[in-house]
Structure 1
Amino acid sequence: MVVAQAAPSPALLRLADRLRRLEEDGLDPRAYAIPADAEAERDPAAWQASLLRASIAVLTDLLHGRVHDLPNRPDLRRDTAALPLSPWLTQLQASPDPATLIDRAALLAPEAAALKRALAAARARVAAGGFPPVPPTPGTDALEPGATDPLRVPALRARLAMTDPLLAANPGAGDTYDEPLVAAARRFQAGEGLEADGRIGRLSFAALNRPAEAAVRQLRVALDMRRAAAPPPAERHIEVNIPFQWFTLSEGNRTLLEMAVIVGKPARATPMLLVRLNAVQFNPQWGVPERNAREDLLPRFRRDPRAMMEKGFRVYSYVDGQRVEVDPTTINWAAINPQRFPYVIRQDAGDINALGRIKFIMPNTEDIYMHDTPDRHLFRRPDRAFSSGCIRLEKPMELLDVVLQGAPGWDRARADRVLASRVTTGLALPRSIPVRLHYATARVEGGQVRLRPDIYGLDEAYARALDAGRSRVANASPVNAGLR
């Protein structure tokens, strides 16, 4: 006699449907071998077992994150031990409605709700065809407020009306870059972290034409990065967000200092690091790295070697193993092969030294440090990714005040005297400070998500790992019980 097997319960069908909607959580349902409902009729027991394995794999990734190891990403820190899976797996098998458990896990990570809302909006935008293109300005000329342009102004109006409710309610018409459209452009620029002046130049055109799919990838990455993310140290610590080009010094839940920073250009990306700031150098000299010397300084020496001398640059050569200073005006710089740069270059300490007056040392194999800069005007720029990898600080003296706390015999007055002496002086700090250089292109402020460009392509690399073809089901923990 053939015994009829029970059909799956409505709760299990809801669970299967919820797993197929994992895209709303930034995950790809195809990675989890979710069984089709039609299989439930043919073999309910096998269908339920497959559903359980898929659910365990999904829960694991929702709680602990799918991506764990990426090259050169020590900033990706997870504390999975603080979020054990066992209680969740017990609940999964005991719950009368396990789909609700998946919902809870999907919202457990910090800021997950806001990121999911933004992801849903971004996915809807992609489904609707993305954004209309805004033709860039020819050459280097920006589109100025009040200008008339029959090509770019209507395109700009159509693009901004898609994301600006005020403009969408009264979009206007015509070829003139009028005040309502300028106001919408300013709001867009402010949201993108650009200078909100209404002038549409290279950076604004790039932001306007960023593909809608890019936001989807960034938000998927942001969700996964937050899952089981390790909390920051309870002690005083520094975080530098590279895409936002922003420095934060915190202690516990208190923010002690914030500032803009300048980070590495894409060709010389600032590496992600977990280090400790343990020393300060006053009036630092700059030992120019070879790459900077041949790529940055060689063209300047070719133009005007005397001007480089006046800026404190010294050129050295090695003769019989001894370092000998060479007069830059006696060198035929045009004949120097950049690929075999034969000199060592240093810049004297001083107000125009590239490192400014203070260097904050945090030992690492990449020779990355934080420092002052004489070019204070650069911090007014919205795009500040143009250093050679090190971190330039907007408020170095304020940071100095903090790190000197607890240093016997040191205060701002003594530091000012040392700086005024122009003598290179080092100070080991009695209490080192952990520093994390990290990469996060999404930030939630007041419930709203702000995105910054993926300047180093690290989100793209993370997204590729997120979508790697391997199935999680094979790694799911074995189970001895079924779903209810």
Structure 2
Amino acid sequence: MSLARLIAWAPVFILLLVAAPLAHAVENEQVAAEIRKIIDNGEPLMGDQQSDDRIVEVYVFYADDRDYKPLWVRDSGPKAKAHDILMAIKGAADMGLDPVAYRVGEIEQKLETAKTPRELAELEFLLTRAFLDFGRDINRGIVEPQTAGKENAITSKQMGALTLIDGAERADNIADYVRSLEPQTPEYQRLKSALAAYREIEVKGGFPVIGKGAALKPGMNDKRVPAIRKYLILTGDLPEGANKESDLYDADLVAAVKWFQYRHGLTEDGIMAQTTFEAMNVPVADRIQQLELNMERRRWMDDDLGKYYILVNIADQELKVVKDGKTVHTARVVVGKPFTRTPVFSEKMKYIVLNPYWNVPPNIANNEYLPKLRRDPGVLKRERIRVFAGNGDSGREVDPYSVNWSSINRMPYSLRQDSGPKNALGRVKFMFPNRFNVYLHDTPSKSLFNRDLRVFSHGCVRVQNPLELAELLLADQGWSKARIDAQIAEGGQRIINLKTQVPVHVTYMTAWANKDGSIHFRRDVYKRDEQLARVLAGAEAGG
């Protein structure tokens, strides 16, 4: 084009450049005016203004950042983004959430019927509120952890309303943006896939009921065997082509039952006894809910637990050490009894103690040792426990026979158990200071690790083969197994500070999926699933 022609066309180009944003403003002008009225009048379209802290952020978003222009609609009707959000919310069930909680029916109706500027403005706020609820829930969980029990001493991550809707405005693809809000961990994604698999089982009619009766051992014939085969084919423990009609408990079925037992934390002996029958007779709907509850727990957790960390699963009674995403050590653990439950929390391990003393906690001193002392002041000597006036490390030692224990209602002394083979903490303890005074330690009661259900402690976590864990954690500080053994043999307490503190995450997961595709379930030993289910039901009903 010649210079003369360019000069001639210049006014037209300028007009087009100016007209484009004007046209954009005009197409939102009527709805924007309604949005402004709603905000100026303080109408409660975003919730109860006395309690909903999102309102200020949302109104700032519309008033200051957008000059009241809508995000989801225009004067002519809903934008494509509005329909995209509806589709995303309809998929909430795939994430273990209920689409009804986000008013999906009302949104669907208004997308069809909203025509006037007022109706479109109301739809705008409905979509904004639904998206904020949905985005928040898939990002950090439906409820705060503490509302499901004070023992959940963790704080879920937070994302403000302004950040959420600003991200939605900038997103080229709403589906991709929604996926980015979910936990970005393989553990969460595997749970999501497991949920889909168990929903498919439900669609097929669920699990067959396995009849009650005597224990079933390899080589036996039993009328319950066909139902067991059908069950194990549904769960993938037995290949699809297996004979479904035979009532012989044959080698293939035994192998499948052992795998089922492994997935459920049971003794892998291939014998169908009471606990295995009970696990098989849990309805598929209950397993689906279990998966949903543990997806909620995963949303509470940080995506990044650290490059090197220790994970303790209370429900599984197992510990694992993870380095660069790979498990490098596992151990069975004993956790708190149902009345002295181990809490959920995260802290950093700072030091390890060899040949530790045991400073008896006040509640144990009062509830367990004081009654014993009233009957026999010599009971402490047999357990190598000494009495101190004041702190056990610096106080004055007291002769237990010099005290009139029958006149005491509450223990006024400190009790400390000396190092040795009978010490309640064994030969090593792993310290990550926390308000619960819970830590990892050895134990003289080794036989407890052989049990399927290991809930016997006062709240601390007893570790199987703890010296292997100590060797692993101290390897980069010149502490070989031989050196650790020699230090223990010398006697006397030795504190070793860790050069690099190690995060310890104490969790409660009753369902998860491994990298090999196996889906695992554990008993709800503390009834925390039941409590969380009740809290979630209340939150969704009130949403």
SS, match of residue 166 in structure 1: coil
Letter of the aligned partner of 1:171 in structure 2?
A: K
Deviates more, 1:237-246 or 1:120-129: 120-129
1:78 to 157, 181, 188: 157
Shift of 1:90: 1.0
Matches within 5 A, 1:35-114: 35=106, 37-44=108-115, 46=119, 48-49=123-124, 50-70=126-146, 71-75=150-154, 77-78=156-157, 80=159, 84-86=163-165, 88-91=167-170, 98=174, 101-102=177-178, 105=181, 110-114=186-190
Deviations along 1:268-316, whole A, 9 cap, x unmatched?
Answer: 2211222232333322344455666788889999xx999x889745586
Are 2:281 and 1:209 equivalent residues in the alignment?
A: yes
Please state whether the residue corresponding to 2:504 is helix, strand or coil: strand
For 1:27, the aligned partner's letter is L
1:255-276 CA-to-partner distances (Å, cap 9, x unmatched) read 5543332222333221122223
Q: Deviations over 1:365-389 (max 9, x none)?
A: 3221211123445434443333332
> 1:132–1:430: structure 2 CA closer, same or farther, 3 Å change rule?
same
For residue 85 of structure 1, give the secondary structure of its aligned residue in structure 2: helix
- State yes or no: 1:444 paired with 2:513: yes
Task: Find the residue that maps to 2:526 and give its secondary structure.
Answer: coil
Write out per-residue CA displacement over residues 190-245 of structure 1, whole angstroms, 9 at most, x where no aligned residue: 22232221122343233223332332223223333444842445464322222233
Per the TM alignment, residue 111 of structure 1 is displaced from its structure 2 partner at its CA by 4.3
CA contact (8 A) 2:317 2:333 kept: yes
Going from structure 1 to structure 2, the CA distance change for 1:405 and 1:353 (only over 3 Å counts) comes to same
Q: How far 1:453 sits from its partner (Å)?
A: 2.7
Distance 1:12 1:235 in 2: 40
In structure 1, the partner of 2:257 is 185
* 2-structure distance, mates of 1:199, 1:292: 40
Q: Secondary structure at the match of 2:346?
A: strand
Check 1:460–1:417 CA distance in 2 against 1; reply closer, same or farther (3 A cut). same
In 2, Cα distance between equivalents of 1:234 and 1:117: 24
User: What is the rounded CA distance, in whole Å, between the counterparts of 1:278 and 1:10 in structure 2?
Assistant: 53
TM-score, normalisation: structure 1: 0.74
SS of match in other structure, 2:285: helix
Aligned to 2:465: 395
Q: Distance in 1 between matches of 2:366 and 2:502?
A: 34
> Over residues 74-107 of structure 1, what are the superposed CA-to-partner deviations in whole Å (9 max), with x where a residue is unaligned?
34542648x9535531146x65xx4565466568
Q: Highest CA radius of gyration, 1 or 2?
A: 2
Q: Residue 20 in 1 paired to residue 95 in 2?
A: no
Residue number in structure 2 paired with 1:481: none
Amino acid at match of 2:164: L
State the partner residue of 2:485. 416
Q: Is the 8 A contact 1:157 1:171 kept in 2?
A: yes
Bigger helix fraction = 2
Report the residue type matching 2:127 in the other structure. Answer: L
Match of 1:325 among 395, 400, 415: 400
- CA apart distance, 1:123: 3.1
Distance 1:434 1:36, change over 3 A: closer
CA–CA separation in structure 1 for the residues paired with 2:80 and 2:495: 70
Work out which structure has the larger RCO, using CA pairs closer than 8 Å and 6 or more positions apart in sequence: 1
Alignment of 1:378-389 (within 5 A): 378-389=448-459
What is the SS of the residue equivalent to 1:268? coil
Q: How many equivalent residue pairs?
A: 450
> Are 2:128 and 2:165, in contact at CA under 8 Å, matched by a contact in 1?
no
Q: CA deviation at 1:183?
A: 2.6
Alpha-carbon distance in structure 1 between the residues aligned to 2:520 and 2:421: 37
1:455-474 equivalent positions in 2, closer than 5 A: 455-469=525-539
State the SS of the aligned residue for 1:249. strand
Q: What corresponds to 1:197 in structure 2?
A: 269
CA RMSD of aligned residues (A): 4.6
AA at the equivalent of 1:88: G
**Correspondence list, 1:17-416, <5 A:** 17-34=87-104, 35=106, 37-44=108-115, 46=119, 48-49=123-124, 50-70=126-146, 71-75=150-154, 77-78=156-157, 80=159, 84-86=163-165, 88-91=167-170, 98=174, 101-102=177-178, 105=181, 110-126=186-202, 130-135=206-211, 142-147=215-220, 153=225, 156-163=228-235, 164-166=237-239, 169-174=242-247, 177-227=249-299, 229-232=301-304, 234=306, 236-253=308-325, 255-289=327-361, 312=383, 314=385, 323-325=398-400, 347-404=417-474, 412-416=481-485
